[in-house]
Amino acid sequence: MNNSWRDYNFILLAALVGLTTFSLAMVYSATLHDPMTTGYFGRHLVNLLIGIAVMVGITFLDYHTFQSWTFPLYIVSVVLLAVVLIYGNVRGGAQSWIDFGLRTVQPSEPIKLVIIMVLAGFWASQERVSSQWRPFIGSVLLLSVPLFLVFIQPDFGTALVFGSVWILMTLVAGMTITQFGALIGVAAPVFYFGWTYILAPYQRTRLLIFLDPIKYDPELKSGAWNIIQSLTAIGSGGFNGQGWTQGVMSQGNYLPVQYSDFIFAITGEELGFIGTAVMLLLLGVLIWQALDIAANSRDMLGRLMATGIAAMFLCHVLVNAGMNMSIMPITGIPLPFVSYGGSFTVTSFAAVGLLQSIALWRRRIHF
């Protein structure tokens, strides 16, 4: 039993503890003086506890167990995404939530982890021919259905995560230069068609606005105001920050969804460059350890699962931090383990549990 823990990733756990500490501090501050968010901090505590319980449970499961669940999980995921389009609640312009009474769930969040397991299981079953066209096309087909259902909600952030996860996992699985060229050749006209004929003008504006907020949104109605407020908050924090719970922008509730989408800006204002640098460092350690677990995995299934999780976290960090600093489009995507949230918080903890399972079962250990 003592030797069982030699492969447990304590560095990953330490990074997670640090990020959870940031989350408690910043969600508390972001909801302190907003009557619309009364009770959010208490709910966040509950979400964290649920996430921790799920993480612990998954940690002690052999990750190979999930391979036999991938097909039913995939079917359930597609059905849930279809149900969302019919009965889902609309928030922030996207029909992405299902109200179960006691809780409102965003199915696309846990489905991110399901997609990772499904793709990993598929490629692992095709390991001997993973670089051939059949598994490549099969993976595209597996991804295309949930990606399309998420895209038309429309939830561009989640669609971007799906695509990023698939690309990195495909590279690790053995995508060839020819297949990559074919992907670009197909993706370019599909992107053009979607941009021209599927997206509404206001949606295109929202995606372009980060390039020049005033040019694309001169009346400050389509998101430019959010970017300006975010940049103001980050800039006013300087090197040391204005102090926890002392930010003018954060405590005045000038930023929309500041407890989730713009929590990076709140951190920048109150904790300054030092605080955001430490937070990003912890997120970097988290992603680094996921990639390290992937590199040391004993089989393709574990390697691809860990790679997919690293890609998911990396995409979330780049997009959330990027949109707060106006170098990425505003897509409403949370910062892992820091932003307030239920579905994604639990999903993120579950992903860490899966990472620890891959690390622990690397030597076929038993508890």
pLDDT computed for residue 130 by the predictor:
67
Is the entire prediction scored with pTM above 0.75?
Answer: yes
Among 2-6, 20-24, 80-84, 303-307, which stretch is predicted with the lowest mean pLDDT?
2-6
Residue 118 φ/ψ, nearest 5 degrees:
-65, -50
The tens digit of pLDDT for each residue in 106-131 reads 899 999 999 999 999 999 888 777 67
pLDDT of 251-290, one tens digit each?
998 888 899 999 999 999 999 999 999 999 999 999 999 9
pLDDT of residue 367: 41
What phi and psi, each to the nearest 5 degrees, are found at residue 223?
130, -15
Is the alpha carbon torsion for 285, 307, 191, 150 positive or negative? negative
- Edge-first strand listing for the sheet containing 104-105: 89-91, 94-99, 104-105
208 versus 301: which is more confidently predicted?
301
Q: Tell which wins on pLDDT, 358 or 103.
A: 358
Task: Give backbone dihedrals phi and psi of 62, rounded to 5 degrees, phi first.
Answer: -65, 120
Mean of the per-residue pLDDT values of the chain: 89
How far is it between the farthest Cα atoms of the chain? 64
Q: What is the pLDDT of residues 32-68, one digit of tens each?
A: 988 888 899 999 999 999 999 999 999 999 999 988 8
The mean-pLDDT minimum among 2-6, 103-107, 125-129, 174-178 falls in 2-6
